[in-house]
Protein backbone atom coordinates (compact mmCIF):
# COMPACT_ATOMS: atom_id res chain seq x y z
CA UNK A 1 0.00 0.00 0.00
CA UNK A 2 1.37 3.43 -0.92
CA UNK A 3 2.00 6.04 1.75
CA UNK A 4 1.65 8.85 -0.80
CA UNK A 5 -1.20 11.12 0.48
CA UNK A 6 -1.74 12.44 -3.05
CA UNK A 7 -2.48 9.01 -4.52
CA UNK A 8 -6.10 8.88 -5.64
CA UNK A 9 -6.47 12.66 -5.70
CA UNK A 10 -7.60 14.65 -8.71
CA UNK A 11 -4.96 16.11 -10.98
CA UNK A 12 -5.18 19.67 -12.33
CA UNK A 13 -6.53 18.43 -15.66
CA UNK A 14 -9.06 16.01 -14.13
CA UNK A 15 -12.66 16.50 -13.05
CA UNK A 16 -15.39 14.64 -11.19
CA UNK A 17 -17.78 15.85 -13.91
CA UNK A 18 -18.42 13.99 -17.15
CA UNK A 19 -20.75 16.72 -18.47
CA UNK A 20 -21.35 19.72 -16.21
CA UNK A 21 -24.08 21.08 -18.52
CA UNK A 22 -26.34 18.31 -17.20
CA UNK A 23 -26.69 20.41 -14.05
CA UNK A 24 -27.85 23.53 -15.89
CA UNK A 25 -31.51 24.47 -15.48
CA UNK A 26 -32.22 24.31 -19.25
CA UNK A 27 -30.91 20.75 -19.75
CA UNK A 28 -33.70 18.45 -20.94
CA UNK A 29 -33.59 14.82 -19.76
CA UNK A 30 -33.92 12.02 -22.31
CA UNK A 31 -36.52 10.35 -20.11
CA UNK A 32 -39.07 12.57 -18.38
CA UNK A 33 -40.09 10.56 -15.35
CA UNK A 34 -43.19 10.57 -13.12
CA UNK A 35 -45.18 12.96 -15.27
CA UNK A 36 -47.00 10.67 -17.71
CA UNK A 37 -50.54 11.81 -16.84
CA UNK A 38 -49.61 15.49 -17.08
CA UNK A 39 -47.92 14.91 -20.45
CA UNK A 40 -50.99 13.10 -21.75
CA UNK A 41 -53.26 16.03 -20.82
CA UNK A 42 -50.93 18.49 -22.53
CA UNK A 43 -50.71 16.30 -25.65
CA UNK A 44 -54.51 15.99 -25.74
CA UNK A 45 -54.79 19.78 -25.65
CA UNK A 46 -52.21 20.32 -28.39
CA UNK A 47 -53.39 17.56 -30.74
CA UNK A 48 -55.98 19.73 -32.57
CA UNK A 49 -53.12 22.02 -33.66
CA UNK A 50 -51.50 19.13 -35.54
CA UNK A 51 -54.73 18.78 -37.52
CA UNK A 52 -54.71 22.49 -38.36
CA UNK A 53 -57.24 23.57 -35.74
CA UNK A 54 -56.91 25.87 -32.75
CA UNK A 55 -55.39 23.97 -29.78
CA UNK A 56 -57.21 23.80 -26.47
CA UNK A 57 -56.14 26.30 -23.82
CA UNK A 58 -54.46 24.96 -20.68
CA UNK A 59 -53.55 26.04 -17.16
CA UNK A 60 -50.56 24.09 -15.83
CA UNK A 61 -50.12 24.70 -12.09
CA UNK A 62 -47.86 23.35 -9.39
CA UNK A 63 -45.10 24.24 -6.94
CA UNK A 64 -41.71 25.42 -8.28
CA UNK A 65 -39.39 22.77 -9.67
CA UNK A 66 -42.04 20.15 -10.45
CA UNK A 67 -41.48 19.82 -14.20
CA UNK A 68 -43.96 22.29 -15.71
CA UNK A 69 -41.44 24.12 -17.88
CA UNK A 70 -39.65 20.89 -18.84
CA UNK A 71 -42.92 19.24 -19.90
CA UNK A 72 -43.87 22.23 -22.04
CA UNK A 73 -40.43 22.51 -23.61
CA UNK A 74 -40.27 18.79 -24.48
CA UNK A 75 -43.67 18.90 -26.20
CA UNK A 76 -42.92 22.17 -27.98
CA UNK A 77 -39.61 20.77 -29.25
CA UNK A 78 -41.47 17.71 -30.58
CA UNK A 79 -44.11 19.88 -32.25
CA UNK A 80 -41.50 22.07 -33.92
CA UNK A 81 -39.47 19.07 -35.13
CA UNK A 82 -42.28 16.81 -36.28
CA UNK A 83 -45.16 19.10 -37.35
CA UNK A 84 -45.90 22.46 -38.95
CA UNK A 85 -47.25 23.90 -35.67
CA UNK A 86 -45.49 27.07 -34.55
CA UNK A 87 -44.77 26.55 -30.83
CA UNK A 88 -43.33 29.44 -28.80
CA UNK A 89 -42.49 29.54 -25.10
CA UNK A 90 -42.39 33.00 -23.51
CA UNK A 91 -40.62 33.53 -20.17
CA UNK A 92 -42.93 36.01 -18.44
CA UNK A 93 -40.35 36.73 -15.76
CA UNK A 94 -38.41 38.46 -18.55
CA UNK A 95 -41.29 39.48 -20.85
CA UNK A 96 -43.82 40.72 -18.31
CA UNK A 97 -45.96 43.09 -20.42
CA UNK A 98 -48.31 42.50 -23.33
CA UNK A 99 -46.00 44.37 -25.70
CA UNK A 100 -42.97 42.35 -24.54
CA UNK A 101 -44.86 39.05 -24.99
CA UNK A 102 -45.87 39.95 -28.55
CA UNK A 103 -42.35 41.20 -29.32
CA UNK A 104 -41.07 37.75 -28.32
CA UNK A 105 -43.69 36.08 -30.54
CA UNK A 106 -42.71 38.37 -33.43
CA UNK A 107 -39.03 37.47 -33.02
CA UNK A 108 -39.78 33.74 -33.03
CA UNK A 109 -42.10 33.93 -36.04
CA UNK A 110 -40.02 36.28 -38.21
CA UNK A 111 -36.55 35.20 -36.96
CA UNK A 112 -35.57 38.79 -36.19
CA UNK A 113 -36.38 41.28 -33.45
CA UNK A 114 -39.06 43.93 -34.04
CA UNK A 115 -37.93 47.58 -33.96
CA UNK A 116 -37.17 48.66 -30.40
CA UNK A 117 -39.30 51.78 -30.81
CA UNK A 118 -41.72 53.41 -33.21
CA UNK A 119 -44.00 50.41 -33.80
CA UNK A 120 -47.41 50.36 -32.12
CA UNK A 121 -48.87 47.29 -30.48
CA UNK A 122 -51.65 47.25 -33.09
CA UNK A 123 -49.13 47.05 -35.92
CA UNK A 124 -47.03 44.44 -34.10
CA UNK A 125 -50.16 42.37 -33.49
CA UNK A 126 -51.39 42.61 -37.11
CA UNK A 127 -47.99 41.63 -38.54
CA UNK A 128 -47.98 38.48 -36.40
CA UNK A 129 -51.53 37.45 -37.30
CA UNK A 130 -51.00 38.33 -40.99
CA UNK A 131 -47.99 36.00 -41.07
CA UNK A 132 -49.86 33.15 -39.37
CA UNK A 133 -52.76 33.39 -41.81
CA UNK A 134 -50.47 33.80 -44.83
CA UNK A 135 -48.47 30.69 -43.89
CA UNK A 136 -51.61 28.85 -42.68
CA UNK A 137 -49.83 28.15 -39.39
CA UNK A 138 -51.29 27.33 -35.98
CA UNK A 139 -49.57 29.09 -33.07
CA UNK A 140 -49.24 27.43 -29.65
CA UNK A 141 -48.02 29.87 -26.99
CA UNK A 142 -46.74 28.87 -23.55
CA UNK A 143 -46.79 31.77 -21.10
CA UNK A 144 -44.27 30.37 -18.63
CA UNK A 145 -44.49 31.91 -15.15
CA UNK A 146 -47.68 33.67 -16.27
CA UNK A 147 -48.06 34.86 -12.67
CA UNK A 148 -45.58 37.63 -13.49
CA UNK A 149 -48.07 39.07 -15.98
CA UNK A 150 -50.61 39.22 -13.17
CA UNK A 151 -48.10 40.97 -10.88
CA UNK A 152 -47.73 43.68 -13.52
CA UNK A 153 -51.52 43.80 -14.23
CA UNK A 154 -50.86 42.73 -17.83
CA UNK A 155 -52.40 39.24 -17.87
CA UNK A 156 -55.95 40.05 -18.96
CA UNK A 157 -54.91 42.32 -21.84
CA UNK A 158 -52.29 39.82 -23.04
CA UNK A 159 -54.63 36.84 -22.99
CA UNK A 160 -57.48 38.83 -24.51
CA UNK A 161 -55.32 39.76 -27.50
CA UNK A 162 -54.15 36.17 -27.97
CA UNK A 163 -57.52 34.51 -27.55
CA UNK A 164 -59.48 37.04 -29.64
CA UNK A 165 -56.93 37.11 -32.45
CA UNK A 166 -59.27 35.19 -34.77
CA UNK A 167 -61.86 37.94 -34.40
CA UNK A 168 -59.38 40.68 -35.31
CA UNK A 169 -57.99 38.62 -38.17
CA UNK A 170 -60.09 35.82 -39.61
CA UNK A 171 -58.15 32.59 -39.91
CA UNK A 172 -55.70 33.24 -37.07
CA UNK A 173 -55.48 30.13 -34.85
CA UNK A 174 -53.81 30.56 -31.45
CA UNK A 175 -53.94 28.43 -28.30
CA UNK A 176 -52.38 29.27 -24.94
CA UNK A 177 -50.77 27.26 -22.15
CA UNK A 178 -50.53 29.29 -18.93
CA UNK A 179 -47.86 27.94 -16.58
CA UNK A 180 -47.99 29.16 -12.98
CA UNK A 181 -45.97 28.34 -9.86
CA UNK A 182 -47.99 30.68 -7.63
CA UNK A 183 -50.38 28.34 -5.84
CA UNK A 184 -52.21 31.25 -4.22
CA UNK A 185 -53.08 32.73 -7.63
CA UNK A 186 -56.43 31.62 -9.04
CA UNK A 187 -55.65 32.32 -12.68
CA UNK A 188 -59.22 32.21 -13.96
CA UNK A 189 -60.67 34.20 -11.07
CA UNK A 190 -57.98 36.88 -11.46
CA UNK A 191 -58.80 37.47 -15.15
CA UNK A 192 -61.33 39.99 -16.47
CA UNK A 193 -64.73 38.50 -17.29
CA UNK A 194 -64.17 39.33 -20.99
CA UNK A 195 -61.21 36.91 -20.92
CA UNK A 196 -62.83 34.26 -18.75
CA UNK A 197 -65.59 33.81 -21.33
CA UNK A 198 -63.13 32.77 -24.07
CA UNK A 199 -60.33 31.12 -22.07
CA UNK A 200 -62.12 28.00 -20.71
CA UNK A 201 -58.90 26.00 -20.18
CA UNK A 202 -58.08 22.39 -19.48
CA UNK A 203 -56.33 22.15 -16.12
CA UNK A 204 -53.29 20.03 -15.28
CA UNK A 205 -51.62 19.93 -11.87
CA UNK A 206 -47.97 19.11 -11.25
CA UNK A 207 -47.74 17.79 -7.69
CA UNK A 208 -44.46 17.96 -5.82
CA UNK A 209 -42.15 14.95 -6.14
CA UNK A 210 -41.72 12.62 -3.16
CA UNK A 211 -38.27 11.48 -2.02
CA UNK A 212 -38.30 8.21 -3.98
CA UNK A 213 -39.18 10.07 -7.20
CA UNK A 214 -36.49 12.68 -6.51
CA UNK A 215 -33.85 9.95 -6.16
CA UNK A 216 -35.01 8.35 -9.41
CA UNK A 217 -34.91 11.62 -11.35
CA UNK A 218 -31.62 12.90 -9.94
CA UNK A 219 -29.97 9.51 -10.51
CA UNK A 220 -30.15 10.15 -14.28
CA UNK A 221 -28.35 13.48 -13.79
CA UNK A 222 -25.71 11.73 -11.67
CA UNK A 223 -25.11 9.03 -14.32
CA UNK A 224 -24.86 11.52 -17.16
CA UNK A 225 -23.19 14.40 -15.33
CA UNK A 226 -20.60 12.73 -13.09
CA UNK A 227 -17.90 10.20 -13.79
CA UNK A 228 -18.60 6.67 -12.62
CA UNK A 229 -18.41 6.15 -8.85
CA UNK A 230 -18.28 9.86 -7.95
CA UNK A 231 -21.67 9.96 -6.21
CA UNK A 232 -22.70 7.01 -4.05
CA UNK A 233 -26.19 5.99 -2.88
CA UNK A 234 -25.83 7.60 0.58
CA UNK A 235 -24.90 10.96 -0.97
CA UNK A 236 -27.74 10.81 -3.49
CA UNK A 237 -30.23 9.92 -0.73
CA UNK A 238 -29.08 12.90 1.33
CA UNK A 239 -29.44 15.25 -1.65
CA UNK A 240 -32.96 13.93 -2.22
CA UNK A 241 -33.82 14.37 1.47
CA UNK A 242 -32.67 18.00 1.45
CA UNK A 243 -34.52 18.60 -1.82
CA UNK A 244 -37.74 17.28 -0.31
CA UNK A 245 -37.24 19.63 2.66
CA UNK A 246 -37.33 22.49 0.12
CA UNK A 247 -40.76 21.50 -1.16
CA UNK A 248 -39.52 18.86 -3.60
CA UNK A 249 -38.11 21.55 -5.90
CA UNK A 250 -35.81 19.65 -8.26
CA UNK A 251 -33.88 22.83 -9.01
CA UNK A 252 -32.55 22.71 -5.45
CA UNK A 253 -31.38 19.11 -5.87
CA UNK A 254 -29.78 19.77 -9.25
CA UNK A 255 -27.94 22.83 -7.95
CA UNK A 256 -26.93 20.89 -4.83
CA UNK A 257 -25.35 18.11 -6.89
CA UNK A 258 -23.37 20.63 -8.96
CA UNK A 259 -22.11 22.55 -5.94
CA UNK A 260 -21.28 19.35 -4.05
CA UNK A 261 -19.23 18.22 -7.06
CA UNK A 262 -17.38 21.53 -7.08
CA UNK A 263 -16.69 21.16 -3.36
CA UNK A 264 -15.24 17.69 -3.98
CA UNK A 265 -12.97 19.12 -6.68
CA UNK A 266 -11.87 21.85 -4.29
CA UNK A 267 -10.65 19.06 -2.02
CA UNK A 268 -9.07 17.35 -5.07
CA UNK A 269 -11.27 14.35 -4.24
CA UNK A 270 -12.46 11.80 -6.80
CA UNK A 271 -15.74 11.31 -4.96
CA UNK A 272 -18.48 13.50 -3.50
CA UNK A 273 -18.90 12.99 0.25
CA UNK A 274 -21.70 13.95 2.63
CA UNK A 275 -19.61 16.89 3.90
CA UNK A 276 -19.59 18.32 0.35
CA UNK A 277 -23.40 18.15 0.24
CA UNK A 278 -23.88 19.72 3.66
CA UNK A 279 -21.60 22.67 2.91
CA UNK A 280 -23.21 23.19 -0.52
CA UNK A 281 -26.71 23.21 0.95
CA UNK A 282 -26.20 26.61 2.58
CA UNK A 283 -26.21 28.12 -0.92
CA UNK A 284 -28.42 25.70 -2.83
CA UNK A 285 -31.36 26.12 -0.45
CA UNK A 286 -31.58 29.74 -1.63
CA UNK A 287 -31.78 28.87 -5.34
CA UNK A 288 -35.39 30.19 -5.50
CA UNK A 289 -34.40 33.45 -3.82
CA UNK A 290 -31.45 33.99 -6.16
CA UNK A 291 -33.59 33.48 -9.26
CA UNK A 292 -36.34 35.77 -8.02
CA UNK A 293 -33.90 38.54 -7.14
CA UNK A 294 -32.20 38.30 -10.55
CA UNK A 295 -35.47 39.14 -12.30
CA UNK A 296 -36.20 42.31 -10.29
CA UNK A 297 -35.74 45.82 -11.67
CA UNK A 298 -33.23 48.21 -10.09
CA UNK A 299 -35.91 49.97 -8.05
CA UNK A 300 -37.40 46.66 -6.88
CA UNK A 301 -33.95 45.40 -5.88
CA UNK A 302 -33.31 48.67 -4.03
CA UNK A 303 -36.45 48.20 -1.95
CA UNK A 304 -35.55 44.59 -1.12
CA UNK A 305 -32.17 45.82 0.07
CA UNK A 306 -33.76 48.53 2.22
CA UNK A 307 -36.17 46.02 3.78
CA UNK A 308 -33.31 43.62 4.54
CA UNK A 309 -31.27 46.41 6.12
CA UNK A 310 -34.27 47.60 8.18
CA UNK A 311 -35.73 44.19 8.99
CA UNK A 312 -38.30 44.48 11.77
CA UNK A 313 -38.78 48.24 11.46
CA UNK A 314 -42.07 50.05 10.69
CA UNK A 315 -43.24 50.38 7.10
CA UNK A 316 -43.02 54.17 7.39
CA UNK A 317 -39.34 53.99 8.28
CA UNK A 318 -38.73 51.65 5.35
CA UNK A 319 -40.49 54.00 2.93
CA UNK A 320 -38.40 56.96 4.17
CA UNK A 321 -35.18 54.98 3.62
CA UNK A 322 -36.36 53.80 0.17
CA UNK A 323 -37.36 57.33 -0.81
CA UNK A 324 -33.94 58.64 0.24
CA UNK A 325 -32.17 55.89 -1.74
CA UNK A 326 -34.28 55.97 -4.92
CA UNK A 327 -36.18 59.25 -5.01
CA UNK A 328 -39.36 57.32 -5.87
CA UNK A 329 -42.70 58.20 -4.29
CA UNK A 330 -45.26 56.29 -2.27
CA UNK A 331 -47.33 55.04 -5.23
CA UNK A 332 -44.40 53.21 -6.81
CA UNK A 333 -43.28 52.03 -3.36
CA UNK A 334 -46.71 50.50 -2.74
CA UNK A 335 -46.71 48.79 -6.17
CA UNK A 336 -43.34 47.20 -5.50
CA UNK A 337 -44.42 46.06 -2.03
CA UNK A 338 -47.41 44.30 -3.60
CA UNK A 339 -45.19 42.56 -6.16
CA UNK A 340 -42.61 41.43 -3.58
CA UNK A 341 -45.46 40.10 -1.45
CA UNK A 342 -46.88 38.15 -4.41
CA UNK A 343 -43.43 36.76 -5.22
CA UNK A 344 -43.12 35.47 -1.66
CA UNK A 345 -39.97 37.48 -0.94
CA UNK A 346 -41.77 39.36 1.84
CA UNK A 347 -45.03 39.22 3.77
CA UNK A 348 -46.89 42.52 3.74
CA UNK A 349 -49.80 42.20 6.15
CA UNK A 350 -52.04 44.98 7.39
CA UNK A 351 -52.09 45.44 11.16
CA UNK A 352 -53.88 47.84 13.48
CA UNK A 353 -51.50 50.33 15.08
CA UNK A 354 -52.79 52.19 18.12
CA UNK A 355 -53.36 55.85 17.35
CA UNK A 356 -52.44 55.48 13.68
CA UNK A 357 -55.06 53.17 12.19
CA UNK A 358 -54.05 50.37 9.84
CA UNK A 359 -50.44 50.00 8.76
CA UNK A 360 -48.53 47.43 6.74
CA UNK A 361 -46.07 45.23 8.54
CA UNK A 362 -43.25 44.10 6.24
CA UNK A 363 -41.45 40.85 7.04
CA UNK A 364 -38.73 39.14 5.01
CA UNK A 365 -39.41 35.48 4.23
CA UNK A 366 -35.67 34.79 4.03
CA UNK A 367 -32.69 35.41 6.26
CA UNK A 368 -31.73 39.09 5.90
CA UNK A 369 -28.01 38.32 5.43
CA UNK A 370 -28.84 35.76 2.71
CA UNK A 371 -30.85 38.46 0.89
CA UNK A 372 -28.12 41.09 1.20
CA UNK A 373 -25.54 38.61 -0.11
CA UNK A 374 -27.59 38.20 -3.27
CA UNK A 375 -28.77 41.73 -4.15
Binding-site entries for ATP: 66-70, 209, 221
Q: What is the DSSP string of 355-371?
A: TTEEEEEEEESS-HHHH
CA distance 356 to 21: 55
Per the CB < 8 A criterion, the answer to whether 69 and 77 are in contact is no
Annotated binding site: which residue ranges?
A: 66-70, 209, 221
Q: For 133, which DSSP code? A: H
Other CB atoms within 10 Å distance of the CB of residue 62:
20
Q: Is 51 helix (H, G, I), strand (E, B) or coil?
A: coil
Q: Indicate the angle between helix axes 36-50 and 68-82, nearest 10 degrees.
A: 30
Closest CA to 372 of 295, 318, 310, 319: 310
Which residues, 6+ apart, have CB-to-CB distance to 293 below 8 Å? 301, 304, 345, 371, 374, 375
In Å, how far from its chain's centre is CA 207? 16
Per the CB < 8 A criterion, the answer to whether 94 and 164 are in contact is no
CA distance 328 to 308: 18
CA distance 98 to 109: 17
Return left, alpha or beta for 153; rule: phi > 0 is left, psi -120 to 50 is alpha, else beta. Answer: left
Which residues, 6+ apart, have CB-to-CB distance to 39 below 8 Å? 32, 71, 74, 75
Closest CA to 202 of 184, 185, 187: 187
Length of the chain: 375
Amino acid sequence: MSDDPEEGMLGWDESVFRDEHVFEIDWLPETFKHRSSQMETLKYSLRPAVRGSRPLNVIARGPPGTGKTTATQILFDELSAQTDVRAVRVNCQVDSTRYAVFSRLFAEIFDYEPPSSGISFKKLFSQITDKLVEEDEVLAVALDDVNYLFYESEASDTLYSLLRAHEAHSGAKIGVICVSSDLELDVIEALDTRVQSVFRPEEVYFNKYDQTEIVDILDERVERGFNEGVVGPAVLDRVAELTEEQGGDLRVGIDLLRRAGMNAEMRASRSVELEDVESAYDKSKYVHLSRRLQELSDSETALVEVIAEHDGKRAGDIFDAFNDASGLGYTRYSEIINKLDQLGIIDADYTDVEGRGRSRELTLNYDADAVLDRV
